[in-house]
Amino acid sequence: MLARALAELGEDMSGGADGIQLERLARLAEKVADWTRRVDLSSHATAAAVARRLVADALALAQAAPPFESIADLGSGAGFPGLPIAIRYPERRVTLIESRERRHHFQRSAIRELGLANVVALRGRAEELEPRPHAAVVAQAMADPTEVLGWMLPWADPGGILLLPAGEKAPELPSHPEVCDSAVISYQVPLGGPLRTLWIGRRAGC
């Protein structure tokens, strides 16, 4: 299923390092499903559902976004989209920020089990932790988009990319003195997934 999803995104994952990435993505889906049977981790209770609804969605988002070297995933929950991005792009540095204890423990367990040297999991609220600026910041389904944007800015480098994914209707954000070059694009989640929108901005300094 994941191989099909990546093929729909125009990526060939057969053999070599790509094959290892595909295996890790599948193991991540299985681990999310396993933990969900024991704790309140995700609304998707099977590995197939996690792969289709969460992993494929994260991979599509990463492909739709501009290139970046590092990303902070605010309110990352079970580690999405950050963990699939870290697996697919091992050269990119990923920081997961999550305040809920069980989800944070899951993230740390997944990082260890999957051998993800490029991922750090922080426990706390993004607006309360000491920010560690990154080349990109993503936040999805956290709160009102205008409020979330204020939390994202300190985590972005000057000129860094700000990403707010949404459903078919893009979030409406007023102009902000610390944001430039904002735009909205649409992208399709593979495996028959939904059409999504992505608000993209840059922190001032670009």
- Is the model's pLDDT at 130 over the cut of 80? yes
50 within some domain:
no
19 within some domain:
no
The sign of the torsion formed by the CA atoms of 62, 104, 107, 7 equals: negative
**Average of per-residue pLDDT values in the chain:** 93
- Is the model's pLDDT at 206 over the cut of 60? no
Per residue in 162-192, pLDDT (tens digit) is 999 999 988 888 889 999 989 999 999 999 9
Q: Does the pTM of the predicted model rise above 0.85?
A: yes
Per residue in 132-155, pLDDT (tens digit) is 999 999 998 767 888 999 999 999
Per residue in 27-84, pLDDT (tens digit) is 999 999 999 988 888 888 899 999 999 999 999 999 999 999 999 999 999 999 999 9
108 within some domain:
yes
Number of domains in the chain: 1
Q: Give me the CATH number covering residue 102.
A: 3.40.50.150
Which domain covers residue 112, as residue numbers?
60-203
2 within some domain:
no
28 within some domain:
no
Both tokens of 6, joined, read 């990546």
User: Would you state the pLDDT for residue 14?
Assistant: 61
Instruction: Report DSSP letters for 88-136, one per residue.
Output: H-TTSEEEEEE-SHHHHHHHHHHHHHHT-TTEEEEES-TTTSPP--EEE
| Rounded-to-integer distance, Cα 52 and Cα 46, Å | 10
76 within some domain:
yes
User: Would you state the pLDDT for residue 142?
Assistant: 67
127 within some domain:
yes
Total number of residues shown for the chain = 206
34 within some domain:
no
Residue 124 has, within 13 A of its CA and on its CB side, a CA count of: 11
